[in-house]
Amino acid sequence: MRKITNEEIQFFNDNGYLILKKVIQPDELTVIQQESQRLIDEILDEGPADEWCMRGPEGIPYYLTYLHSHPNEFSLRLLGHPFIGDLLNRIIGPDFVPCYESLVFKLPKHGSSVRWHRDGNAIRENLPIFNVDIYIDKSTVDNGCVWVIPKSHLWSIEKAQEEIDKGEENFNRSDAVPAEVEPGDILLHHTKVLHGSKINTSDTLRRVIYFDQRTPKWNEHYKWWQTDFLIQRCKMYQRALHERSTNYYESDTEQFAYEVPSDMPTWDPEDAFDLRIKHGDYRYIE
């Protein structure tokens, strides 16, 4: 199995983003493409998933939240991918816990734009908090690929906000980079790196799966959520690894050997908990 290299990790730490080529193999990619299209169709038909789909500034659906909670055959298995487990273990540490999952898509001809931003409430410290972006389709300048400003994850909050306020001008910066990728590639982007994307004016669909993860010690310091949130999320990750090992792909050559953190419970397969572990329900209370 391909693994992230030390040189790639160093590039990510230095620049705040990294493109990893040909990670997801064709047999898995086919399932992801079919199932994600079914979910998008459900949204466009105003089915159950539509309630959980955000709209962009043009009023166009583009962001399906709590992906695992929408019945499908791919998302938990994808979360349990051994390449993803290995890179999280090496960049974040063995106590990583997946905390967000979403399907983001830009529809042909009128896919939503995303303004320049940092993800979430940016902290001042430079912890390795980042998104794992798994690309289902080819992403190009024409169909609204992500643009990043390398090294901007090292900027102060004030400098970053000054640039965010410039809006679309940032696409014209000489140091702005289009993160063009192929189906099956993975983009890592730091939550503090400035990034955004233009509207999709092409005839092609652009889909990507986002995973974000944190650690209990970070949560204890920043008090994002109650402890039980990470407990439930840790159980969800163990369930994802179980899904991967019991419903594996032909291209799988190994499984990720995860050691449950000592302060987290071991998942019981009889525990059929709700996969929509909503952040707002576990907001930290003083």
Residue pair 251/28 in contact (Cβ under 8 Å)? The answer is yes
Q: Look at residue 122 and tell me whether its pLDDT is greater than 90.
A: no
Residue pair 154/124 in contact (Cβ under 8 Å)? The answer is no
Average of pLDDT values for 39-60? 95
Whether the model pTM is above 0.85: yes
Q: Which of 28, 23, 33 is nearest to 251 (CA)?
A: 28
| Domain count within the chain | 1
Confidence category of residue 123, pLDDT binned at 50, 70, 90 = confident
Q: In which domain, by residue range, is 230 found? A: 6-282
pLDDT of residue 230: 96
Average of pLDDT values for 97-124? 91
For residue range 227-252, what is the model confidence (pLDDT) as tens digits? 999 999 999 999 999 999 999 999 99
Residue pair 119/148 in contact (Cβ under 8 Å)? The answer is no
pLDDT of residue 80: 98
Residue pair 65/49 in contact (Cβ under 8 Å)? The answer is no
Q: Which residues contact 41 (CB under 8 A, 6 or more apart)?
A: none
Confidence category of residue 112, pLDDT binned at 50, 70, 90 = confident
State the Rg of the chain over Cα.
Answer: 18
Q: Look at residue 126 and tell me whether its pLDDT is greater than 90.
A: no
The answer to whether position 159 is within a domain reads yes
Domain CATH for 41: 2.60.120.620
Q: What is the rounded CA–CA span in Å between residue 135 and residue 144?
A: 13
The answer to whether position 86 is within a domain reads yes
The answer to whether position 229 is within a domain reads yes
For residue range 165-214, what is the model confidence (pLDDT) as tens digits? 999 999 999 999 999 999 999 999 999 999 999 999 899 999 999 999 99
The answer to whether position 249 is within a domain reads yes
Over the chain, what HEC string results? CCCCCHHHHHHHHHHCEEEECCCCCHHHHHHHHHHHHHHHHHHHCCCHHHHHEEECCCCCEEEEECHHHCCCCCHHHHHCCHHHHHHHHHHCCCCCEEEEEEEEEECCCCECCEEEECCCCCCCCCCCCEEEEEECCCECCCCCCEEECCCHHHCCHHHHHHHHCCHHHHHHCCCCEECCECCCCEEEEECCCCEEECCECCCCCEEEEEEEEECHHHHHHHCCECHHHHHHHHHHHHHHHHHHHHCCCCCCCCCCCCCCCCCCCCCCCCCCCCCCCCHHHHECCC
The answer to whether position 1 is within a domain reads no
